[in-house]
Amino acid sequence: MIHIIGGGLAGSEAAWQASRQGVAVTLYEMRPVRPTPVHQTDRLAELVCSNSFRANQIENAVGLLKEEMRRLGSLVMRVADETRVPAGGALAVDRLRFAQGVTAALDQAPLVTIRREEVRDLSRSGDLREPVIVATGPLTSPDLSAAVAALVGQDHLYFYDAISPIVLAESIDRTIVFRASRWGRDSPAIEARPGGGAACGGAACGGDDGQGDYLNCPMTEAEYRDFYRALCAAEPAALHAIDQGRFFEGCLPIEVMARRGEDTLRFGPMKPVGLTDPRTGRRPFAVVQLRQDTLAGDHYSLVGFQTRIKWGGQARILRMIPGLEQAEFVRFGMIHRNTYINGPAALLPTWQSRHRPSLFFAGQISGVEGYVESAASGLIAGLNAAALARGRVPEALPRTTAIGALGHYVSHADAADYQPSNIAFGLIPMTGDVPRRRRDRRRAAANRALGQIAEWQAAREAPDHPHEDAPPPVSGPSPVQSQSVRAHRPRV
């Protein structure tokens, strides 16, 4: 028997996967007994905002993630495909039919029992034969949040998300932007930076001609004043009632900071002190700093630029920053209510808790971002909880698949500065011959990942699978992942 708390995208997928393994599941969903501030119905897997599951092509990371899920028998993907509405290259759904389809499938699943009640503690999570999956999402109820905080540590549970925009490295104009750390203080690991200034020289690296951990976009006074006026005039995204006007002073949106005074940003995230533009030999009037966001060095985030400006306006205003005129955005800035654990401090790549191996986290609370990512984590947590319940050893997928890369990210990213992430090719390591063209690179990575999914599935189903019938350890080291995962433990 498995207990799954939360019947959203992650919990519904987990229940489907576990029950398909022949394990009985009880799925606890608190709606309609206890509503959340954003859900409108009592259906399982309700989409709280957009009706889009984003891009559908495998050359896009979230498209690959979806395809991997389809191949692993995902309920969420099956119903999404069945309830699809026209949306160009994206997969968008009729939200009511989608939630209805998932609810009906689980209602009819013989091994799934749905209980409409709020779970307030983790008392059922001590038994390896009766694993528990916490999939209560970004709006986890307060009592259960307190229980999770007690388990993972108060410092490792967050309630808000302030997200800075991320741009594609190759869309940054390196003839304007310069590499430097404030006061020349680099991190000790600078030699290891892929394509980084210290390890490679100037023109050979596309104009990346300095040393330092940051890329810096220098602004003249006139450019800063124009940028400031555009920020103050920008339209914020519509707010849910739960998010109205409650900001932490430490992570104010840039437009809120700007409205406090014309020079506030210049003395805050855009301060130029300790930086000299090598092209002028002078300190710029203001600077926007970009920090490498992926180990591969293909994504950079705008430091301290969390914002609630509407995405269209955000792109227009951020492209006013010198060097970002042609920027391609991998992710826009956001601030929203979000309950999530510090994955690297709390989770294994199998989505098991480091503190209690019989306890899994899945979905947004596990530290992923997005509908598809939440459902994908539920898929693996469901399979692994079922494995544990059957006396087998939970496994992670190879890191070179999109699902495996997500598991690696939540369990290995920098715990000191953890931020939930969408899936991105920057999280999936390239191996072997790497094609030059981006589209070819992505297609090669996607084809390899899909091949590995097939192999992984075949190995799990093989009668001589080495992990089958392994006795579940009752104490001592946690029943973790396969050897292949232990061999891949570099930090993200």
Ligand X SMILES: Cc1cc2nc3c(=O)[nH]c(=O)nc-3n(C[C@H](O)[C@H](O)[C@H](O)COP(=O)(O)OP(=O)(O)OC[C@H]3O[C@@H](n4cnc5c(N)ncnc54)[C@H](O)[C@@H]3O)c2cc1C
- b/e 157-194 (16+ beta carbons within 10 angstroms → b): bbebbbbbbbbbbeebebebbbbbbbeeebeeeeeebe
What is the rounded CA–CA span in Å between residue 226 and residue 228?
5
CB of 340 to ligand X, least distance (A): 9
CB of 250 to ligand X, least distance (A): 20
| Site map 317..336 versus ligand X, x via CB under 6 A | -------------------x
| Site map 365..384 versus ligand X, x via CB under 6 A | x----xx--x----------
Should residue 48 be labelled a site residue for ligand X when binding is judged by CB under 6 A? Answer: yes
Should residue 140 be labelled a site residue for ligand X when binding is judged by CB under 6 A? Answer: yes
CB of 380 to ligand X, least distance (A): 14
Among 21, 141, 352, 482, binds ligand X (CB under 6 A): 141
Residues constituting the chain: 492
Window contacting ligand X (CB under 6 A); options: 26-34, 196-204, 315-323, 381-389: 26-34
* Total of chain residues touching ligand X, rule CB under 6 A: 36
Cα distances from 213 to residues 119, 169, 217, 351, 397, in angstroms, run 45, 14, 13, 32, 32
Among 138, 196, 272, 394, binds ligand X (CB under 6 A): 138
What is the rounded CA–CA span in Å between residue 137 and residue 338?
8
Give the number of other Cβ atoms within 10 Å of residue 223's Cβ: 17
Should residue 137 be labelled a site residue for ligand X when binding is judged by CB under 6 A? Answer: yes
Window contacting ligand X (CB under 6 A); options: 5-13, 299-307, 318-326, 470-478: 5-13
| Site map 211..250 versus ligand X, x via CB under 6 A | -----------------------------x----------
Among 2, 3, 4, 7, binds ligand X (CB under 6 A): 7
- State the residue number with the nearest CB to ligand X: 8
Should residue 144 be labelled a site residue for ligand X when binding is judged by CB under 6 A? Answer: yes
Should residue 119 be labelled a site residue for ligand X when binding is judged by CB under 6 A? Answer: yes
Among 3, 31, 179, 308, binds ligand X (CB under 6 A): 31
CB of 147 to ligand X, least distance (A): 9
CB of 237 to ligand X, least distance (A): 11
Question: What tokens appear for 124 in the block?
Answer: 């059922």
Amino acid at 351: W
Should residue 49 be labelled a site residue for ligand X when binding is judged by CB under 6 A? Answer: yes
CB of 84 to ligand X, least distance (A): 16
CB of 261 to ligand X, least distance (A): 31
Should residue 29 be labelled a site residue for ligand X when binding is judged by CB under 6 A? Answer: yes
The dihedral of CA 57, 58, 60, 62: what is its sign? positive
The partner residues of 290 in beta bridges, in order of sequence, read 215, 302
Window contacting ligand X (CB under 6 A); options: 3-11, 105-113, 289-297, 379-387: 3-11
C-beta pairs of 238-246 under 8 Å, 24+ apart in sequence:
239/308, 240/37, 240/38, 240/336, 240/337, 241/37, 242/37, 242/38, 242/139, 242/337, 243/335, 243/336, 243/337
Among 135, 162, 302, 334, binds ligand X (CB under 6 A): 135
Residues lying near ligand X in the complex (CB under 6 A): 5-11, 28-31, 36, 38-39, 48-50, 118-119, 135-141, 144, 240, 336-337, 363-365, 370-371, 374
